[in-house]
């Protein structure tokens, strides 16, 4: 399967390239960066710490989509929306690990999925996707007497908050409760906030050091507290999950899928 990587010179992009190169059944189709990137023309594989592959970093994402069977995107929301349009136009599968996508961007992904298989997940980890399923189940079982808080911590360089994974967990909790996430999410607290609204789903985002990703869902009820925790110790787990999703798209009908579809958990 010919696989391309957009944003191939970034930290995650390089890891994705390395994972493609070492995955059986996968072939590196190419990699791109934004026009004007200082990495333009560099060998994609060499940037990832592998032997040179004779494939230069380009800036033509449309050409990459035409050359590849699937493309992996861990970039920024605006770029992801543009890449989704290219996926639809070319029929090339797209795997999206970009975080910080809002409702408008998700609508663009859904529209593009009419013409291509698109897998989107705020987190590609198997453990996190299990945590999402558990969160939905526990939220439904415990009921509104248990307050829900989602706490996440990431490295100092992360540019969005709360994390895409935290939002996945909060939305899973809302689904379990049968409530609207947007109407009940509390993204921050400061000053005299008053009593906690019944049914609220609170978020706290911590930043510091080189933390890859810690996530906790807290259910605080009368006389007891239940916490479900996931801590990522190796960034490569996200790349491995993305490759699993990418290989899964082969022969898949157009549609917007999640990692729970990939793992047979839907």
What is the structure's pLDDT at 220? 98
CATH architecture of 126-232: 2-Layer Sandwich (3.30)
- Residues 223, 147 contacting (CB under 8 angstroms): no
What is the structure's pLDDT at 217? 98
Strands 70-73 and 93-96: parallel
What is the structure's pLDDT at 153? 97
- Kindly state which CATH superfamily the domain 2-120+235-262 is placed in: NAD(P)-binding Rossmann-like Domain (3.40.50.720)
What is the structure's pLDDT at 216? 98
- Residues 134, 265 contacting (CB under 8 angstroms): no
Q: Which two tokens stand for residue 39?
A: 């990495």
| Residues paired with residue 31 on neighbouring β-strands, in sequence order | 5
What is the structure's pLDDT at 147? 98
What is the structure's pLDDT at 149? 98
Within 10 angstroms of residue 231's Cβ, the number of other Cβ atoms is 12
148 phi/psi in degrees, rounded to 5: -110, 125
Within 10 angstroms of residue 48's Cβ, the number of other Cβ atoms is 23
Q: Which two tokens stand for residue 14?
A: 């390089």
What is the structure's pLDDT at 264? 85
What is the structure's pLDDT at 198? 94
Within 10 angstroms of residue 41's Cβ, the number of other Cβ atoms is 10
**Where in the sequence numbering do the catalytic residues fall?**
154, 158
- pLDDT tens by residue, the chain, 266 residues: 999 999 999 999 999 999 999 999 999 999 999 999 999 999 999 999 999 999 999 999 999 999 999 999 999 999 999 999 999 999 999 999 998 888 899 999 999 999 999 999 878 888 898 899 899 999 999 989 999 999 999 999 998 899 988 998 999 999 999 999 999 999 999 999 999 999 999 999 999 999 999 999 999 999 999 999 999 988 889 999 999 999 999 999 999 999 889 988 76
Cα(166)–Cα(140) distance, rounded to whole angstroms?
18
Q: Which sequence spans correspond to the domains of the chain?
A: 2-120+235-262, 126-232
| CA-wise closest residue to 44 among 23, 20, 68 | 20
């Amino acid at each position: 399967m010919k696989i391309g990587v957009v944003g191939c010179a970034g930290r995650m992009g390089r890891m994705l390239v390395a994972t493609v190169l070492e995955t059986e059944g996968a072939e590196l189709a190419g990699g791109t960066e934004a026009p004007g990137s200082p990495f333009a023309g560099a060998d994609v594989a060499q940037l990832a710490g592998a032997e040179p592959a004779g494939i230069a970093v380009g800036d033509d994402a449309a050409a990459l989509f035409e050359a590849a069977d699937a493309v992996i995107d861990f970039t920024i929301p605006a770029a992801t929306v543009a890449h989704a349009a290219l996926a639809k136009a070319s029929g090339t599968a797209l795997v999206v690990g970009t975080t910080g996508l809002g409702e408008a961007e998700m609508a663009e992904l859904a529209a593009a999925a009419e013409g291509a298989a698109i897998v989107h997940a705020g987190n590609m980890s198997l453990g996190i996707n299990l945590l999402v399923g558990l969160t939905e189940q526990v939220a439904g079982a415990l009921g509104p007497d248990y307050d829900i808080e989602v706490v996440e911590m990431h490295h100092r360089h992360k540019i969005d908050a709360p994390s895409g994974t935290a939002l996945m967990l909060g939305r899973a909790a809302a689904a379990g409760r049968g409530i609207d996430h947007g109407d009940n999410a509390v993204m921050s607290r400061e000053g005299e906030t008053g009593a906690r609204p019944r049914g609220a789903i609170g978020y706290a985002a911590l930043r510091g050091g080189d933390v890859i990703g810690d996530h906790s869902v807290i259910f605080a009820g009368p006389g007891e507290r239940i916490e479900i925790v996931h801590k990522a110790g190796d960034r490569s787990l996200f790349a491995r999950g993305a490759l699993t999703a990418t290989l899964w798209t082969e022969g898949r009908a157009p549609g917007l899928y999640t990692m729970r579809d990939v793992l047979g958990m839907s």
